[in-house]
Amino acid sequence: MNWKPNNISKFTNDANVRGVFSQVVLIAALVFSFFWLTDNTLTNLSNQGKSLGFAFLSATAGFQISQTFGTWLFDYEVGTSTYLDVYFIGIANTLLVAVLGIVAATVIGFTLGIMRLSNNIVFRAFATTYIELLRNIPILLQLFFWYFAVLRALPGKRDKLEIIPDMIGVNITGLYLPAPVPQESFVYSVIAFAIAVLLTFGVIRYAKHVQRQTGKITPVFLIGTAFLIVIPVVTFLTTNSPLDWNMPEFRDTGPMLRRGYQSGSGMILVPELIAVWLALSLYTAAFIAEIVRAGILSVSKGQTEAAFALGIRPNYTLRLVVIPQAMRVIIPPLTSQYLNITKNSSLAVAIAYPELVSVFAGTALNQVGKEIEMIFMMMMVYLTFSLLTAAFMNWYNSKVKMVER
């Protein structure tokens, strides 16, 4: 039989052709669905008499926001500030609690992780109990617990608990600290500090160079500390101490409503912020502790034994042998925990901390009703912050990862 493949079947059976065809169909379908969804959204919005647009951002916001870092930073004033200001206040408050949470969770987490591997049974038992308890209770419940525990533990509004008399005190309305009021010439002290930091970096580099060349160890820590303290302090004193302190003012006479810490005096950390900070950092610390433990255990015991055999003392072994290797395992999951803190900070809406979700997606959204635009703006904030965190951590990871030769 004279069998001859015809051109069409040759064509349709070609794996290459089939592959391209199916991919193009998929892409076309995706593009179409996207346009269809957009078109539908716009049609539905216009049916409801709504339109897309960001003009609302320049309208004045007619509501009060709990006074915190954000309102202080952007000088919020009801009646003159706009919805854009509200947006920025939300972002500032979210970032504040995220950064505070990341720092605290890292410190607590590393401590607990190392404690859990300790030979001391008390340390080990404490760390184990802490980790198992905190990471198995939902974060929202912990948030409520800390908030109401903090509120119940603190003295009432007309009372105070002084940590340093007339300077630092606390009651149910918050933690009051002296507020720094820099004068114009304070800028010289800031410049002096910057110079001291640069000098210290120079010393560190020089010390490394010297150590490589000669094996001599320069007391970097002492020199650096001296630079960092002496240079700014001398500048500060020679420019006539250009920094005033606004002390918190407490009154216990006069009308009942007026008693207590006076608003506008000192610096205040509201209890909502303290509760969110506590809850986020204590909760995430439990996860970080486990990551740290996993990282340390991933370094083979032979490494430690080899270091001991060379006569390196235990704390140097940990610092110079174990931790640098453990970091390679720790960094990637640690990044996810940092991202979790940022995202979990949105739960603070439940306890009246005025972060982004609370003031922008809550109060502001309720007034202007621009759901799509506002939720989009909010997603962009979380996305940007998460991507920046991830980018920084990736950079750090590339620095500590194994150098392959």
Cβ–Cβ < 8 Å for 283, 139: yes
Query: If binding is defined by CB under 8 A, does position 254 make contact with another protein?
Result: no
Shortest gap between Cβ of 287 and another protein (angstroms)?
A: 25
Site string for another protein, 44-63 (x = CB under 8 A): ------------------xx
Q: 3-state class of 167 per DSSP?
A: coil
Q: Quick one: which of 13, 73, 133, 156 contacts another protein (CB under 8 A)?
A: 156
Helices marked H in 62-154 — which ranges? 69-73, 83-116, 121-134, 139-153
Helices marked H in 154-270 — which ranges? 186-214, 220-238
Record the tokens describing residue 5, joined without a space: 């493949």
Q: Quick one: which of 58, 136, 315, 366 contacts another protein (CB under 8 A)?
A: 366
Record the tokens describing residue 342, joined without a space: 């940022």
Contacts of 348 (CB under 8 A, 6+ apart): 97, 143, 272, 276, 355, 357, 358
Site string for another protein, 64-103 (x = CB under 8 A): xxxx----------xx------------------------
Q: 320-359: which residues touch another protein (CB under 8 A)?
A: 349-352, 354, 358
Which range binds another protein by CB under 8 A, 143-151, 245-253, 293-301, 384-392?
143-151
Q: 3-state class of 302 per DSSP?
A: helix
Q: What is the largest CA-CA distance in the chain?
A: 114
Query: If binding is defined by CB under 8 A, does position 265 make contact with another protein?
Result: no
Which range binds another protein by CB under 8 A, 30-38, 112-120, 177-185, 385-393?
30-38
Residue 81: alpha-carbon gap to chain centroid: 26
Query: If binding is defined by CB under 8 A, does position 152 make contact with another protein?
Result: yes
Give CA torsion, residues 303, 305, 308, 312, to 10 deg: 10
Which residues contribute to the site for another protein (CB under 8 A)? Answer: 11, 16-17, 20-21, 24-25, 27-29, 31-33, 36, 62-67, 78-79, 144, 147-148, 151-152, 156-157, 172-173, 255-258, 263, 271-272, 349-352, 354, 358, 362-363, 366-367
